[in-house]
Chain A
């Protein structure tokens, strides 16, 4: 049985398409965004990010109102956003495949 509950997330800037989890959450937990209910597609840890809406491959990932990376693949709303599905090329010639 999956425990379902509303989670506490922080959207830092109005422009952001990701939010930060303010506590650990479990697959199936939900959040309300723009009056719509979204369920988490997977477990997400405290401090990590969730996609607030559907994000297409190569679309900008925005946090603090600024571009932090680009999507490596299509990312559905409610997904964990991390280096497995986003990438930034700053500081290296080309993005490596390490963490």
Chain B
């Protein structure tokens, strides 16, 4: 089975051909936005990190930005630096260059000021665009696809319709030789014993269980104080209103996203996947930070289930929205791509809905825009911090 995608210099395959303008530090955000606004097909990936970070905190930022810049959905990269940041524009540039992807950089303090940097950056981006525009879609096997499995705004329909349906989609893709990746460690609490049985070996199981244990310890520490007793609920008001009562109930519904394939790999946040098949990535439960990790890990498309409904998207990866709630679909047709509520209405079953989503995903892989792309949604790009220095 094939789709029409872009073959990259390092051998990977993309479903989009973006020109990415990426700041190495938040201080260069506005310049990056202004440069990207000047050229058709360019997107800016502005963020809040890159300065005053050390150790694992700095490494996580560096790994995320490098893996997003070398992602196969991107044809060419312009790095915009300030000049004094810890994550240096030169280190960033060297990594992208080594992947073979066309890359340029502009540094504000070297150009003189931000206006001069925007002018110099726009000229470089113009040249990059000529290269990137020459790329054509070619036939690529679906076994080269990696899909991210994400959920946000969960209600009770997610666990019985939308999540099992994308679990089926994931099973179909893995059956064709492709890969998928699930994340959101906070949303595994209470379901980890079930997933453990599906891990291919102890190493994968231990990595996943250690992530759950560490996360639960952090949560316990953060909510221990009596003064936070009204802020200790792990699930949102929307989850509660939608009929989800406990974090374990949410987790048991959540893991249906993973279908039935064996779990072949477990990776750190934003680390590139190594194993074919179904992978686990250790990420926060927040939609943006999780989706950012999945994209950096190599997912070219994200399947995002939402019972309550959310409009969000990612700047360089198509996000397909699937709801298991027919009411939500009818209300949010401009934001939601697939109505898996048909399962609850009895018009489709999990298997047929999984296939509908698979076919839709292949169309998106070949260029069809998702609703989030059409409306320009890009708010899911969020890089989490490992360290923060605020006492509480």
Contacts and interface: CB of A to CB of B under 8 A. Distances in A.
Interface of A: 10, 12, 20-22, 45-49, 63-64, 66-69, 81-83, 86-88, 90-93, 95-99
Nearest to A87: B246
Contacts of A69: 245-246, 248-249
Contact of B232 (A20, A63, A92): A92
B190 A68 contact: yes
Contact of B252 (A21, A22, A49, A63): A63
Given A63-B249, A99-B233, A92 B157 contact: no
B229, B243, B252 — most chain A CB neighbours (10 Å): B243
B331 interface: no
A64 B159 contact: yes
Contacts of A49: 156, 243, 245
B243 A90 contact: no
B230 A83 contact: no
A63 B155 CA distance: 15
Contacts of B307: 47
B230 A90 contact: no
A64 B246 contact: no
Contact of A47 (B186, B216, B219, B242): B242
A45 B176 CA distance: 40
A70 B280 CA distance: 29
A52 B223 CA distance: 33
Contacts of A21: 243
Contact of A96 (B155, B194, B233): B233
A45 B242 CA distance: 9
Contacts of B344: 22
Interface residues of B, number: 37
A82 B344 CA distance: 21
B231 A98 contact: yes
A83 B240 contact: yes
Contacts of B127: none
Q: Ordered nearest first, which 8 A-B pairs have the shortest CB separation?
A: A47-B156, A47-B243, A96-B232, A88-B246, A48-B243, A68-B249, A64-B252, A96-B229
B234 interface: yes
Contacts of B194: 66
Nearest to B240: A99
B233 A20 contact: no
Contact of A82 (B159, B228, B245): B245
Contacts of B237: 99
Nearest to B215: A91
A42 B338 CA distance: 33
A47 B238 CA distance: 12
Contacts of B248: 66-69, 88, 90
B234 A45 contact: no
B115 interface: no
Contacts of A66: 190-191, 194, 248, 252
A86 B243 CA distance: 13
Contact of B156 (A20, A90, A95, A99): A20
Contacts of B189: 90-91
B354 to A, nearest CB: 18
Interface string B208-229: 0000000010011001100011
A82 B232 contact: no
Interface string B155-176: 1110110000000000000000
A64 B250 CA distance: 11
B288 interface: no
Contact of A93 (B224, B325, B327): B224
B25 interface: no
B252 A90 contact: no
A88 B232 CA distance: 12
A66 B192 CA distance: 12
Contacts of A47: 155-157, 242-243, 307, 325
Contacts of A22: 344
B190 to A, nearest CB: 5
21 contacts: A47-B157, A47-B242, A48-B156, A48-B243, A63-B252, A64-B253, A66-B190, A66-B191, A66-B194, A66-B248, A68-B190, A82-B245, A88-B190, A91-B247, A92-B223, A93-B224, A96-B228, A96-B229, A96-B232, A98-B229, A99-B240
